[in-house]
Structures are given as C-alpha cells and as structure tokens.
C-alpha cells in the first residue's frame, strides 16, 4: 500500500471496535468503528408539564410524585453520526403491575412541520431493579438540519421505586457519502480510495498537491503529515 493511501486509511479508521451490547467501552468522540458515548443525565431533562412534581434520591436519580410523570431532553449529536442504540439508566423496584415501571422513547421531530416520529420504545417489566435497559439496534443517521431529536423518560409509580439516572447514547462517526463528480483530476470516481479522499477534501483536512490533483501515489513528507493531523484534530495556529 502506498504511504499516502495508508495515511488515508489511518485517518478515517481511528477507532477499534471494543464494545458490543452489554460490554463496557472507553468513551470516544472519534472514529468510524468504535461507539462513542453521550450521556444525558437526569437533571438535563425537563418536566413535560409545569405542574408535575418530582423528587430525587441519591442526588441524581429523579422520579415523579403523585403518579406517572414524563421528562424530556434534547439529543445533541454530531450531524451525520450514526446512532447505534441508547440505554435507559434507572431502577424499577415497584410492586405495581408490569408496564407501569420505567419507560423511554426516542423521537425524531422534523423542523419544517408539526408532528414527531417515535423511533424506539423501551420499558421495564417484572421490577428488574437497577439496570441498563438497551433499545436494540437503531441505525439512525443524525440530520440536525432537517430534524430535532428528543428523548422522553417516564416514571409510573409516583414514588422512588421507579426512578432514572439518565440515558446513554452510543453513536459512531461516518465517512461522508462520495459525490457524483470527482474533486481531483487524478482521483476518478472508480478509484479505490475515492470516497476517503473526497471526505478529507470536503472536511478541509487535505487540499491536494496543486493543479487540481491529489497525487495519491506521492510519498508524504513529515511536514505534510503534520498539516494533515493538525487539520484533522482542529488544532489552532498562533
């Protein structure tokens, strides 16, 4: 593999897959194969109705009082990211019938019109205690221009036997789809690394070697490597 091509593969494959459902992983905010973690703590959720009364236990575990109550929070993830799944973090120790414990749903709300779409619902049953309740695979690509995303959590018992600590969102960054027209004269659309090169050009990481070319087979100098990495990491120059 050419040095320049190897650099592209390295730049776009920063993560190593180290997490599956039910396994813990280091939280990351980069990479196309590793899941990154975004946590919505209970106190970023707002009560759906102003008259809803609520309490907390342990400092960060919230619940409604006087019956069922729901809380909403905005989901803010990078545009184009792939939301793999979410996990409700909470406790259901209620003696009430099944279906009246903890409940969570992820909604997609188009910015240009009214109405929201429910993407996935999870709820507890049989009073499982304190758990991580996974949604299962979502495969939802985030589009922050067209949509708003909201997480809703409801507690049903009206006391501390059903309480939640937050929601964990597991997502991955994605390489941009390849354009129909090539940016560089020497990188045609059928070139093996066309999509990766176009993604670097679009993101401002690599601008080519001049005269409308990318020079994909040209060796990379230490100076060029420094520029690639500085652009990719968003480093500021004095």
CATH fold of 38-172, please? Jelly Rolls (2.60.120)
Look over the chain and give the mean of its residue pLDDT values, rounded to a whole number: 84
Per-residue pLDDT, 121 = 93
* Nearest Cα residue to 68 out of 94, 36, 106, 89: 94
Per-residue pLDDT, 88 = 97
Domain residue limits, the chain: 3-13+177-233, 38-172
pLDDT band at residue 66 using 50, 70 and 90 as cut-offs: confident
Give per-residue pLDDT as tens, 148-206: 999 999 999 888 999 999 999 999 988 888 889 999 999 999 999 999 999 899 888 98
Determine the Cα–Cα distance for residues 236 and 238; give it in Å rounded to an integer: 7
Give per-residue pLDDT as tens, 9-40: 444 443 333 233 334 445 566 778 888 999 99
Question: Which has more pLDDT, 26 or 55?
Answer: 55
Instruction: Give percent above pLDDT 90 in the chain.
Output: 53
Which one-letter DSSP state was computed for residue 12?
H
**Using an 8 Å Cβ cutoff, are 153 and 169 in contact?**
no
Give per-residue pLDDT as tens, 86-105: 999 999 998 876 557 899 99
| pTM of the predicted model over 0.85 | no
Residue 237 dihedral angles phi and psi, to the nearest 5°: -105, 145
- Cα separations in angstroms, 134 against 120, 144, 210, 227: 10, 24, 49, 41
Residue 141 has pLDDT above 90, yes or no: yes
Least confident of 39-43, 58-62, 81-85, 229-233: 58-62
Residue 61: enclosing H or E segment and its boundaries?
strand 61-64
């Amino acid at each position: 593999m050419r040095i320049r091509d190897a650099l592209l593969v390295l730049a776009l494959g920063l993560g190593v897959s180290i997490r599956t459902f039910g396994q813990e992983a280091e939280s990351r905010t980069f990479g196309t194969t590793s899941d990154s973690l975004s946590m919505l703590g209970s106190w970023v959720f707002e009560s759906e109705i102003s008259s809803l009364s609520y309490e907390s236990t342990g400092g960060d575990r919230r619940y409604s009082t006087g019956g069922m109550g729901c809380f909403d929070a905005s989901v803010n993830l990078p545009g184009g990211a792939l939301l793999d799944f979410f996990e409700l973090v909470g406790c259901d120790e209620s003696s009430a019938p099944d279906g009246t414990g903890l409940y969570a749903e992820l909604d997609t709300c188009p910015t240009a019109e009214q109405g929201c779409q429910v993407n996935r619902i999870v709820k507890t049953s049989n009073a499982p205690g304190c758990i991580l309740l996974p949604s299962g695979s979502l495969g939802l690509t985030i589009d922050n221009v067209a949509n708003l995303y909201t997480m809703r959590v409801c507690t049903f018992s009206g006391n501390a036997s059903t309480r939640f600590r937050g929601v964990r969102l597991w997502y991955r960054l994605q390489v941009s789809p390849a354009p129909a027209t090539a940016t560089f004269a020497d990188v045609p659309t059928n070139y093996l690394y066309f999509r990766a090169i176009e993604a670097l050009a679009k993101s401002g990481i690599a601008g080519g070697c001049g005269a409308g070319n990318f020079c994909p087979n040209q060796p990379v100098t230490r100076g060029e490597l420094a520029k690639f990495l500085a652009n990719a990491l968003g480093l500021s120059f004095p």
